[in-house]
Amino acid sequence: MLALKRALFPVQPRYVPGQRGLNIALRTLHLVGIAGIGGGYFYGTEDETWRLYQGLCVFSGVLLALLFIYTSGIWLLQLRGLVILFKLLLFCAIFLWPDPGAILMVIILILSGWIAHAPASIRYYAPVYRRRIERLPE
């Protein structure tokens, strides 16, 4: 159990070679995916080719999350990670209930903008600890 804790929550965050470039590339692909999804959900396009963008959005989003988790699992305890996981649930809900898809996409976009531009005191806040954390407390 201790080995798992150390693997998920390293004392110092891990670094992936080329991490900054990878992060930028994945975020850019993610934005392209979001833009393509907008055509499907907001304009009700009949052509299903926009679903390729949905796949791009999911793929790039999952890779970003894995990068953050690998760097330090603390991300899973902070609002920035919890909001992303909640967005993923909403995105999955779209597959189960496609009728409110546009509304769910708007909620996802609002959450995305909010958490991406929130001050660090909010993004790094951990509800479990009821305070901002940047590493696992001893």
Q: Tokens representing 35? A: 């833009």
Residue 135 clears pLDDT 80, i.e. is over it: yes
Which pair of tokens denotes residue 12? 């110092």
The total of other beta-carbon atoms located within 10 Å of residue 84's CB is 19
Lowest mean per-residue pLDDT among 10-14, 63-67, 78-82: 10-14
Q: What is the pLDDT of residue 121?
A: 96
Instruction: Report pLDDT digits (tens) over 6-40.
Output: 888 888 899 999 999 999 999 999 999 999 888 88
Sign of the Cα torsion 99, 105, 110, 115 reads positive
DSSP H helices in 13-71: 19-43, 51-71
Residue in the structure block whose two tokens are 């649930």: 89
Rounded CA-CA distance 83/79 in Å is 6
Beta carbons of 93 and 104 less than 8 angstroms apart: yes
Question: pTM of the prediction?
Answer: 0.87
- Which range in 2-11, 92-101, 120-129 is most confidently predicted, on average pLDDT? 120-129
pLDDT on residue 85: 93
